[in-house]
Structure 1
Amino acid sequence: MRKPCKLLFGFFFLGLTAVLAQESLQDQPLVSPEVREDGRVTFRLKAPEAASVRVIGNWMPREGFGRASEAMERGTDGLWTLTNPVLPSELYWYNLIIDGVTTTDPSNVHLIRDVASTFNIFIVPGGKGDRYSVQSVPHGTVSKRWYDSPGLGKARRVTIYTPPGYETSTEDYPVLYLLHGAGGDEEAWSDLGRATQILDNLIASGEAQPMIVVMPNGNAAQEAAPGKSSEGLKQPTFMMPRTMDGDYEASFRDVIDFVEANYRVKADKENRAIAGLSMGGFHSLHISRYYPDTFDYVGLFSPVIMPRGNPSAPVYEALDETLATQKNNGYKLYWIGIGKDDFLFDEVTAFRTRLDRLQMPYTYLETEGGHEWPLWRDYLTVFAPRLFK
């Protein structure tokens, strides 16, 4: 007599399981963005109460200092969608604008912070994007270290990449000091710049020599990135105090001394490089001439040339004389890259005229684009293979 009850319970249990499974499937997060094999990208958002949803991304046309946006289409179930035309292989950022409020895509957990703004990212593979992706190759190690800076009177944080095999070898390595721009910090090149993925892939392909990459904080007033220092969860700001007062450049030996005391490095001019973007290019220019017999490789990516205002720091004095000393000491590569639409283009052109007058050799790359991360990632993939050869 009990068998029918068991059978009925079994059917009930199976039915309940099926219903719960269907509900669970319905609760699965939307796929957004969906990157298709042909390079088209579809964005989705479930927002039945929204009156307007738009996508804004760095592949869209410029509008002043910002970007244009494109409207998503609302379905009858409150699902908004937008499919872009084919995008070239690259790393892209985007936001959603919901009823006029800019926010991130709740279906995309991949985020980056640029100064005080947060963006979603995605990668279209099959070309440049592969350089910035994690590939099935040997990987280096990324460490966040603290060092004492007597010149700046504080402990400071630095990101350091050691190449694949560093921990198991006894080899000494050359060093690239890679500097961020205004509003950035010691996390900018590893997060926004994808420097670790770029170096892993270049080293694995044999295009670049294994090297240590040191990514310091270039804001003299900061210990570390916002939220990573004793100041607590402080709001990031674009232009920190003391970024162009000469103290950071004059104290840069503190970074070099820490690296050479704690890592197996080739501690000579022939095996040191310094490069940076925007403000980091400015710092690289002035550090390399202030210490004119320290670096054989210098890279200026869309650089600021002279400090804003009228600083009296010794670091910025005697520009022509110190550049001439740097030239006479000799170096292997002085590399400059900038986009045609960069607001610093004329400033860089004037600097090149100065270098020509001093007969100071340099390599120059002029590209399409403005003052933006896609160019600087590109410049790193061009610059790094030319080091330590």
Structure 2
Amino acid sequence: MKNHLLTTLFFLATIGFTSYAQEALFRAQNIISPEIHEDNSVTFRLHAPNATAVQVTGDFLPSVKMETPMGLMDGPGKAELKKGENGVWEFKTPVLDSGLYNYSFTIDGFSSIDPGNPFLIRDVASVTNIFIVGGGHADLFMTNDIPHGTVARRWYDSPGLGMDRRITIYTPPGYEISTEKYPVLYLLHGAGGDEEAWLALGRTAQIMDNLIAQGKAKPMIVVMPNGNVIQDGAPGEGSKNFYKPQFMIPKTMDGTYEGTFEDIIKFVESNYRVKADKASRAIAGLSMGGFHTLHISRYYPNTFDYMGLFSAAIMPREDATGKVYSNFDETLKAQMDNGYKLYWIAIGNRDFLYKANQEYLEKLKGMGMPHDYVESEGGHTWKNWRVYLSQFAPLLF
């Protein structure tokens, strides 16, 4: 009787597993999307027999002006898919430049990911598909057959914030078996990001692996903190667990992060083999992270020899009243007088922060503060920031 019961339970479990596997199989569609052609054009496909209109939107299309929480900004354009046989909609792009692109579908007004593409990224609370067109600069964003570094998610104690916090750290290939000490790049995200942003959206590990393998960048540790001081970790990864990420949360640009940044440096220099001197420290960030970079490097004026401001959010803020933001001109001059090796500023010519960055450049020129300036095409986008990282990292150390 007992053996008969066990046999029956096994039979039912097998049926259940088989049914689930068949369900997953039947849900799958034999559709290739996106299909990257030899000439670097791309075809998108979607099986939606009952839809009346399907569009694709992504950063491979000409940009359009859009209203955002930060004002009027460039956003991705849209293109119409055409319905073909068996209810499959298609759109083929012109030849695309080498790059990493994101996209999504709109089906009868409803936004959707591409069910034929399992590769996704989250930017704040938006989830989109991605694809890479190689054969050029975007080869840096690919995982190639080369030595790879290690990415660790660590927790560090922040006495200044009164909590343990999550941090992402990249160590270069061979770090674990080496006795060498390494320089450090502190890489800061923008508003709405977290300690996952530069890794997922910025492709930091792939960029560093490839640059190091090509001999274009020195092996270095890259530290990617969470700049949202009321969080202990990214949404879904910290003690608040799963909740919807927000673009701006309290205390992100009020001086608290900058004023407690030494907690991060102390953790890194106590737990990793690093060269703990000014010549071996770099700091860079995008947008809000560029704002943080400007003020952290000025507030600790003899700490970093390399600074990178990527599309920096240089703007007056009503909550910027703390000690960190006081005596701006004096502390900036102290940073200049202490000397450094690189103060690097980059921005797109259609970025909504372009004017503010030009005004800051004029200020630096007026006070005789050495700096390098790079102006690219485009706006306030990861498409630019990935490129800036790949240009900035080879200049370090």
Q: TM-score, normalised by structure 2?
A: 0.90
Q: Kindly state the Cα deviation for residue 326 of structure 1 after the two structures are TM-superposed.
A: 0.4
The answer for the alignment partner of 1:8 in structure 2 is none
- Partners of 1:87 and 1:28 lie apart in 2 by 26
- Partners of 2:261 and 2:391 lie apart in 1 by 25
Q: Kindly state the Cα deviation for residue 29 of structure 1 after the two structures are TM-superposed.
A: 3.1
The answer for the alignment partner of 2:202 in structure 1 is 193
Q: Structure 1 residues 25 and 311, CA, compared in 2 at 3 Å: closer, same or farther?
A: closer
Larger radius of gyration: 1
Cα deviation 1:170-229 (Å, max 9, x = unaligned): 100000000000000000000000011000000000000000000000111111110111
Mapping 1:1-389, distance limit 5 Å: 28-65=29-66, 66-388=75-397
Q: Structure 1 residues 143 and 49, CA, compared in 2 at 3 Å: closer, same or farther?
A: same
Q: Structure 1 residues 76 and 28, CA, compared in 2 at 3 Å: closer, same or farther?
A: closer
Q: Structure 1 residues 137 and 216, CA, compared in 2 at 3 Å: closer, same or farther?
A: same
Q: Structure 1 residues 268 and 48, CA, compared in 2 at 3 Å: closer, same or farther?
A: same
Q: Kindly state the Cα deviation for residue 276 of structure 1 after the two structures are TM-superposed.
A: 0.2
Alignment check: 8 A CA contact 2:235 2:245 kept? yes
**Unmatched 5+ residue regions in structure 1?**
1-23
Alignment check: 8 A CA contact 1:277 1:300 kept? yes
Give the count of matched residue pairs.
365
- Partners of 2:346 and 2:329 lie apart in 1 by 21
Cα deviation 1:32-70 (Å, max 9, x = unaligned): 001111101011111111111111111212222233211
Q: Structure 1 residues 259 and 329, CA, compared in 2 at 3 Å: closer, same or farther?
A: same
Alignment check: 8 A CA contact 2:188 2:293 kept? yes
- Partners of 2:252 and 2:103 lie apart in 1 by 29
Alignment check: 8 A CA contact 1:282 1:305 kept? yes
Alignment check: 8 A CA contact 1:180 1:280 kept? yes
Q: Structure 1 residues 25 and 240, CA, compared in 2 at 3 Å: closer, same or farther?
A: closer
- Partners of 1:337 and 1:51 lie apart in 2 by 43
Amino acid at match of 2:345: I
Q: Structure 1 residues 74 and 255, CA, compared in 2 at 3 Å: closer, same or farther?
A: same
The answer for the alignment partner of 1:15 in structure 2 is none
> 44-53 vs 165-174, which deviates more?
44-53
Alignment check: 8 A CA contact 2:29 2:116 kept? no
Amino acid at match of 1:49: N
Alignment check: 8 A CA contact 1:208 1:384 kept? yes
Alignment check: 8 A CA contact 2:305 2:342 kept? yes
- Partners of 2:297 and 2:315 lie apart in 1 by 14
Cα deviation 1:240-272 (Å, max 9, x = unaligned): 110111010000000000000100000000000
Cα RMSD, aligned residues only: 1.3
